[in-house]
Structure 1
Amino acid sequence: MGVIRRRGVVALGVTGLVAPLALALTTTPAQAASCTTRTGPYQKQVEKFLGRPVDGKQSVTDCKAVQAFQTKHGITPSIGYAGPVTWGVMDLMNKQKAVGNKPNKDGKCPVNKGRIACVNLTLQLSWIQDGNRLVHGPVPVRTGRDGYETRTGLKKIYWRHIDHVSTIYNVPMPYSQFFDGGQAFHSVGLSVWNPPGSHGCVNMTTKDAKKYWSLLKNGDDVFVYGRKPGT
């Protein structure tokens, strides 16, 4: 999080890099690399998502597949347990995929503003549209966690800094495009599905953040709506 000085106005820059919250199922660092033999409450759903035989029973192979998914997306503890956080990420991925190339099918993001960046907190998706025409996306994003929610409503990009660094957390926020106080689009060096979320910013992959940087400019509209699961 960094202090932004612009024309005498001081705004608080909020970074999206947040340490994941531990699940109720705890483990020690020495145990983290080991697979659990426990069958999780979402075993069948997780098995289906990963293309495993759906029998609802934990196996060594099941555990290793779940553990690899958890490690990739920063879900802790990464012991291969098919719990609610792991399934929650997978379920969100399924819902995002189902949107296809019609992210504004519900018409909630304004089509009378010209070029606008839309953020659907419920589905953790963002896209850029121009009227009814989809310009880019949808792309998965990582928005504010509980207590640090990305604020909803119609906003405008007011400041851009390609090499911004948070002065509070001392972490990079590349391709930052600020649209509401310290809340900005910017890239992160971790999975955009990493729970529990950011400190308010809209985190993106480097590829997507670069594309947004090339497509948007100061004064462009941003519309944020919905509610992130768990907030």
Structure 2
Amino acid sequence: MQRNSGIRRVLAAAAVVAVAAGCTVSGSAGSAPTKPPASSKPADDKPSSTPSGTAEPDGPEAQSALFSKGDKGKKVRELQARLRQVAWLFEYPDGVYGDSTVKAVEGFQGKRGLPKTGEVDAVTWERLLKMTSKPGYFELYAGGDQPAAKPDERCMTGRVLCISKTSRTLVWMIDGKAQLTVDVRFGSDQTPTREGVFQVDSKSRYHHSTLYDTPMPYAMFFSRGQAVHYSSDFKARGYTGASHGCVNVRDEAKIASLFGQVQTGDKVVVYW
């Protein structure tokens, strides 16, 4: 009995010390520890496009990856567009988490004292969200490859260069079926590309503009000097520039193929 009384006194003293140290004592001796509450955001949740408002930990902490090398899709394209906003990625978004994206993420992490994993965890993503704005459609597709818009009804019969200003695409169509799709660029507000229904008036493989003293290879004219043609400037600068009213194409192989298929008299539809 005296021995049991002594043990109880020792346990009681230990409990007093634990409370004084800021701990809590619960359950009986030998019971399993209480399971901590589940996180409000599982580690494998895909990030939202806007900040969640959850607080970041005080210091760098290893987290499960939300994105990593080899991932593909719209969220990766958004990540790349946001990295471009803060000048850590200079290539156009393509939706593929490759080596350049890994390096950009490492640079972003290292600058902010986060573990340089090259993978996007919750902490990295939240930090990037706070420093950037939600990318617009043309930011996501700054380098092209955007989906083509629904064809205008006027494109559904015959041989047509179906050109959408909304999606910035040209679709070569025959009897309502798409044969070839290319990214295109239009004129500026000062020199807009005309909208409407036209036809190919003439073609010039090695055309050179006397008005602007610039080459216009693979030119297919459709409206008082405006033409669909290859543009090396579009290839180099993307959508940061504009034409003088023509429809620029930057994929030379595709427009060479298109030039070989399109005939004088084929319809051209330019629409929003």
Normalised TM-score (structure 2): 0.49
Q: Give the Cα–Cα distance (whole angstroms) in 2 for the partners of residues 170 and 155 of structure 1.
A: 25
Residue identity opposite 1:185 in structure 2: V
Q: Structure 1 residue 53 and structure 2 residue 105: aligned? A: yes
Q: Structure 1 residue 149 and structure 2 residue 195: aligned? A: no
Evaluate the alpha carbon distance shift between residue 201 and residue 128 of structure 1 in structure 2; reply closer, same or farther with a 3 A threshold: same
SS of 2:232's partner is coil
Q: Structure 1 residue 123 and structure 2 residue 167: aligned? A: yes
Q: Which residues in structure 2 correspond to 1:62-77 (within 5 Å)?
A: none
Residue identity opposite 2:170 in structure 1: S
Aligned-pair CA distance for 1:160? 1.1
- Judge conservation of contact 2:85–2:132 (CA < 8 Å) in 1: yes
Evaluate the alpha carbon distance shift between residue 145 and residue 214 of structure 1 in structure 2; reply closer, same or farther with a 3 A threshold: same
User: 2:177: which partner in 1?
Assistant: 133
Q: Structure 1 residue 159 and structure 2 residue 202: aligned? A: yes
Q: Give the Cα–Cα distance (whole angstroms) in 2 for the partners of residues 41 and 187 of structure 1.
A: 27
Aligned-pair CA distance for 1:115? 1.1
Aligned-pair CA distance for 1:91? 2.1
Q: Is the radius of gyration larger for structure 1 or structure 2?
A: 2
Q: Give the Cα–Cα distance (whole angstroms) in 1 for the partners of residues 229 and 204 of structure 2.
A: 10
SS of 1:147's partner is coil
Q: Give the Cα–Cα distance (whole angstroms) in 2 for the partners of residues 88 and 98 of structure 1.
A: 9
SS of 1:110's partner is helix
Deviations 1:126-171 (A, max 9, x none): 11011221111x2111111122111111110001111111112222
Residue from 109, 122, 140 that aligns with 1:91: 140
Q: Give the Cα–Cα distance (whole angstroms) in 1 for the partners of residues 183 and 163 of structure 2.
A: 10
Q: Give the Cα–Cα distance (whole angstroms) in 1 for the partners of residues 109 and 136 of structure 2.
A: 15
Q: Structure 1 residue 202 and structure 2 residue 247: aligned? A: yes
Aligned-pair CA distance for 1:108? 1.8
Runs of at least 5 residues in structure 1 that lack an aligned partner in the other structure: 1-38, 60-81, 227-231
Residue identity opposite 1:190 in structure 2: D
Q: Give the Cα–Cα distance (whole angstroms) in 2 for the partners of residues 148 and 175 of structure 1.
A: 21
Aligned-pair CA distance for 1:43? 3.1
Q: Give the Cα–Cα distance (whole angstroms) in 1 for the partners of residues 153 and 261 of structure 2.
A: 18
Q: Structure 1 residue 222 and structure 2 residue 222: aligned? A: no
Aligned-pair CA distance for 1:98? 5.1
- Judge conservation of contact 1:183–1:201 (CA < 8 Å) in 2: yes
RMSD, matched Cα:
3.7
Evaluate the alpha carbon distance shift between residue 41 and residue 171 of structure 1 in structure 2; reply closer, same or farther with a 3 A threshold: closer
User: 1:179: which partner in 2?
Assistant: 222
Deviations 1:31-89 (A, max 9, x none): xxxxxxxx999339969946332997895xxxxxxxxxxxxxxxxxxxxxx999x9775
Residue identity opposite 2:178 in structure 1: L
Runs of at least 5 residues in structure 2 that lack an aligned partner in the other structure: 1-81, 94-99, 112-130
Moved more, 155-164 or 106-115: 106-115
Normalised TM-score (structure 1): 0.57
Greater helix proportion: 2
- Judge conservation of contact 2:155–2:269 (CA < 8 Å) in 1: no
- Judge conservation of contact 1:158–1:219 (CA < 8 Å) in 2: yes
Aligned-pair CA distance for 1:225? 0.8
Q: Give the Cα–Cα distance (whole angstroms) in 1 for the partners of residues 84 and 265 of structure 2.
A: 47
Moved more, 194-203 or 215-224: 194-203
**Number of corresponding residues:** 160
Aligned-pair CA distance for 1:175? 1.1
Aligned-pair CA distance for 1:109? 4.7
Evaluate the alpha carbon distance shift between residue 166 and residue 98 of structure 1 in structure 2; reply closer, same or farther with a 3 A threshold: closer
Q: Structure 1 residue 113 and structure 2 residue 165: aligned? A: no
